Amino acid sequence: MEDKAARKDLHKRRKTRSTSGLVSLSALAGMACTMALLLPWPVIADNYLESLEFDSAAQKIVDASDELPSLSGSFLAAQSAGANGDEEEAIKSYRRAIELDPENQNLKQSLFVALTANGDIPAAIKLLNAIPTESQTQNINHVVVAANALKQKSWGQALSRIDRVAGTDLDGMLATIFGSWSLYGERKMDEALARIDGIDGPDWVLMIREYHAGLMLSAAGRDGEAVPRFQKAVEYRAVAAALTETYMRAIEGLSRAQARAGNPEEARKAAMEGLRLLSDHAPMEALLKMLSSGDAKISPLIASPQQGAAEVFFNVGTAISRQGGLPFAQGHLQLARFLAPESDAVHFALGNVYEDQDRYAQANMFYGEIDAQSPYYRRAQLEYALNLNRMEQTPKAVEILNGLVSEDPLDMITVLSLGGVHAQHDAFDKAIEVYSTAVDRLNSPQQSDWRLFYRRGIAYERTKQWPKAEADFKKALQLFPDQPDVLNYLGYSWIDQGINLDEGLAMVRKAVELRPNSGFIIDSLGWAYYRLGNLPDAVEYLERAVELRPDDPIINDHLGDAYWRVGRKLEAKYQWQQSLSLEPEDDLRKQLNAKIASGLEETSVTKSASGTVDAKQKSSQ
């Protein structure tokens, strides 16, 4: 993971950047994109757009009437809002369009999808009653009706409607498991398990199959039978990276079932194994605490058919979100929330999905629904505060973060976040205070504490306390040798100061070797060569950095400088213009405008344009 806060700090200091498992279910995201359940409403409404353009006689609207601008404008506004993730505005625009064309079923379908994506399932159900049955052919129609039926304990209707879903393997898996929970609701346990056991497919499908079989058995009080099914689920270790949330919940389900089956020691072992895989997993920490107390009554992870059906939407939604399919994930998670409105896991996942779409206010709405007693509460409050900072409500963000740090001073994620917010706003003295307080509380720093020293080192460096900064960077490397972020920052800092040139250049080269696809680290190496006067190598690495990060204004600016120094002045101005188009910060924008107008002043580096090496570079090779 690249350390974004550190990259920004190094950018500000000298126009350069620094950077600080198992399988990918790319096929899962690909299949999700084909699911009609989550088809974006602009796509569903394409036929209507064609009707506006080509079927004027049928629609009776493509003429010179006064209605045309309102109808077409409302429709296009709805499509634009939907494409930008603004469901509320899309809903308003589709409603206006339907008022003007009340018989158009395509518009109603598009509104139906928008309502579902926005989580307003009751309104979507009400709207569906206005769509003729023969027009309810989309998978999303069947799924939403089935979810509503299951919520109301109409088991037969839920089963018959979900069985009308057709499409990809992912559609089939979801419908099969959902239907099994409908059968469970009818107390047809054997049929429910037989339906689940009929699922076949790749490992990630089999993992979810075994997981839901375990959930169902545990919910029925048959924990002894649930344990081996959960154990089979967690044996699919290779899918843990792509199905992280589901995999961790499978371990939690196993631990709970073992405890309920009278095996508390095995339950504790399972929970500890989960924490070994993901050390800061709050729900597992809470479960282990309950198991260790010996007093608390352990409940099954899932207790009802509604929660079970919600779980499969949660499983698919969280997996898709990890593959970048955020709008698709959002639809699944909204259905999970509809069926299990009490689930903090679902609220937290929805907050993540909205946050990843830069919709911070909506994300905070979901984070804010998580109860203070929930294991998810602290992390939700952390994300809530960081979103406030992104929305330029920094004082309130700092207040929340200070409270979280006071409650748990050794929660390094929160400590680093608070320090990072201060550093983002150039309050480096405050950042140093936060980091130093945490360092003083460490009895014996561990490898995972490297980032604390690294961040404090950056803050020291930015406040011109280089000896302290250097000591912290070295301490970070002592804790985590060859950590690319630290190698990059310390190595470049030495080069920038003209000291330890051999070691500094070796560090940056090592960082590139460890992160060969990091445009930011490669930019650092290219810029180091530029500073040392090795312009041919500077151009080579800076060109590579721009290929990897074409949207970064500073890297483009660096390449422009290198081009100018080797006499490629037309290309240099193009690169500076490109940097200017990428919305750089004000200080860089001023420099770019000056360089575009007048170029670069002659310096000693210009004399190295032919590729000769100056004295400093000789000492570094």
pLDDT digits 0-9 by tens, 410-444 = 999 999 999 999 999 999 999 999 999 999 999 99
The reported pLDDT for the residue numbered 6 is 52
Number of neighbours of residue 543 by Cβ within 10 angstroms: 15
Residue 98: is its pLDDT beyond 60? yes
Does residue 456 register a pLDDT over 50? yes
**Least confident segment among 91-100, 298-307, 543-552, 580-589:** 91-100
**Of 195, 266, 173, the residue nearest 228 (C-alpha):** 266
Confidence of residue 620 (pLDDT cuts 50, 70, 90): very low
Q: Give the CA distances from residue 591 to residues 221, 417, 420, 477, 597, in Å, rounded to whole numbers and listed in that order.
A: 70, 31, 27, 35, 10
Query: Is the confidence at residue 229, as pLDDT, over 90?
Result: yes
The stretch 104-128 carries a mean pLDDT of 89
Q: What percent of the chain has pLDDT over 90?
A: 71
Amino acid 66: pLDDT: 42
Pick the residue with more confidence: 99 or 211?
211
Burial class (CB in 10 A: 0-12, 13-18, 19+), 76: middle
> Which residue would you say has higher pLDDT here, 395 or 33?
395
pLDDT higher than 80, residue 12: no
Average pLDDT over residues 498-515: 95
**pLDDT for the residue numbered 205:** 95
Q: Which two tokens stand for residue 618?
A: 């000789």
Rounded to an integer, the average pLDDT of 549-561 is 96
pTM to 2 decimal places: 0.82
Amino acid 602: pLDDT: 64
Contact 311/295 with Cβ under 8 angstroms? no
pLDDT at 325: 84
pLDDT attached to residue 420: 97
pLDDT at 597 over 70: yes
- Statement: residue 599 has pLDDT above 80: yes
pLDDT, residue 448, reads: 92
Q: Give, in order, the Cα–Cα distances in Å from 245 to each of 249, 273, 346, 497, 520.
A: 6, 15, 11, 46, 30
CA distances from 66 to 62, 63, 601 (A): 10, 9, 62
Tokens of 431: 């950042």
For residue 609, what pLDDT is reported?
37
pLDDT of residue 51: 33
Can you give the pLDDT at residue 176? 97
| Residue-by-residue DSSP string for 330-363 | HHHHHHHHHH-TT-HHHHHHHHHHHHHTT-HHHH
Average pLDDT taken over every residue of the chain: 86
Residue reference for tokens 């089956």: 261
Q: Is the pLDDT of residue 37 over 60?
A: no
Please tell me the predicted confidence (pLDDT) of residue 377.
97
Q: What is the pLDDT of residues 301-350, one digit of tens each?
A: 999 999 999 999 999 999 998 887 888 899 999 999 999 999 999 999 99
Query: 79: which DSSP letter?
Result: H
Greatest pairwise CA separation for the chain in angstroms: 84
**pLDDT-derived band at 533, boundaries 50, 70, 90:** very high
> Is pLDDT at 268 greater than 50 in this prediction?
yes
